[in-house]
């Protein structure tokens, strides 16, 4: 979506599990869109949908402003994958038979430690890669 109006239109037409709402958008910002989503007369399919704010504002009080505006959570930019994963884990409904974590095994596994370039093991890795 490019702006809050498009988000409202989408939420009126279909059911979603969660909204990631940018606070600064043209035409209708995230604060106004969140407030309208929460209004029972808004026509959205689920006025109680979890809304997670995404904002470059990381000043004291910005989180409170988002929460007071009807958003459920807050992630500041630059966005870190772990912050998004934590928020999704917290706010997405757990479905029957879903895995314990929303992270794929590749995302959850620690990165492999490669040997230093000057070690004999590094030369073996280089041979295997050729």
Tokens of 123: 């030369």
The per-residue pLDDT for range 59-95, each reduced to its tens digit, is 788 889 999 999 999 999 888 999 999 999 999 977 7
Number of domains making up the chain: 1
- Asked whether residue 108 is domain-assigned, the answer is no
- Asked whether residue 36 is domain-assigned, the answer is yes
The per-residue pLDDT for range 87-126, each reduced to its tens digit, is 999 999 777 665 554 444 444 444 445 555 554 544 444 4
- Asked whether residue 24 is domain-assigned, the answer is yes
What is the reported pTM? 0.70
- Asked whether residue 8 is domain-assigned, the answer is yes
Q: Are 46 and 11 in contact (CB under 8 A)?
A: yes
pLDDT, greater one: 36 or 24: 36
- Asked whether residue 104 is domain-assigned, the answer is no
CATH code assigned at 49:
3.40.50.2300
- Asked whether residue 12 is domain-assigned, the answer is yes
- Asked whether residue 129 is domain-assigned, the answer is no
Please tell me the distance from the alpha carbon of residue 105 to that of residue 94, in angstroms, as a whole number. 18
- Burial bucket for residue 78 (CB in 10 Å: 0-12, 13-18, 19+): exposed
Q: Give me the domain span that covers residue 63.
A: 1-93
- Asked whether residue 38 is domain-assigned, the answer is yes
Q: Are 76 and 52 in contact (CB under 8 A)?
A: no
């Amino acid at each position: 979506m490019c702006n809050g109006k498009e988000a409202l239109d989408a939420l009126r037409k279909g059911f979603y599990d969660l909204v990631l709402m940018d606070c600064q958008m043209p035409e209708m910002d995230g604060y106004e869109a969140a407030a309208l989503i929460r209004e029972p007369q808004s026509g959205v399919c689920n006025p109680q949908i979890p809304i997670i704010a995404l904002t470059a504002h990381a000043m004291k009080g910005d989180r409170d402003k988002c929460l007071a505006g009807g958003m459920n959570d807050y992630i500041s930019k630059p966005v870190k994958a772990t912050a998004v994963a934590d928020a999704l884990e917290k706010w997405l409904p757990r479905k029957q038979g879903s895995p314990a974590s929303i992270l794929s095994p590749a995302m959850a596994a620690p990165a492999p430690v490669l040997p230093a370039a000057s070690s004999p093991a590094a030369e073996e890795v280089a041979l295997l890669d050729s």
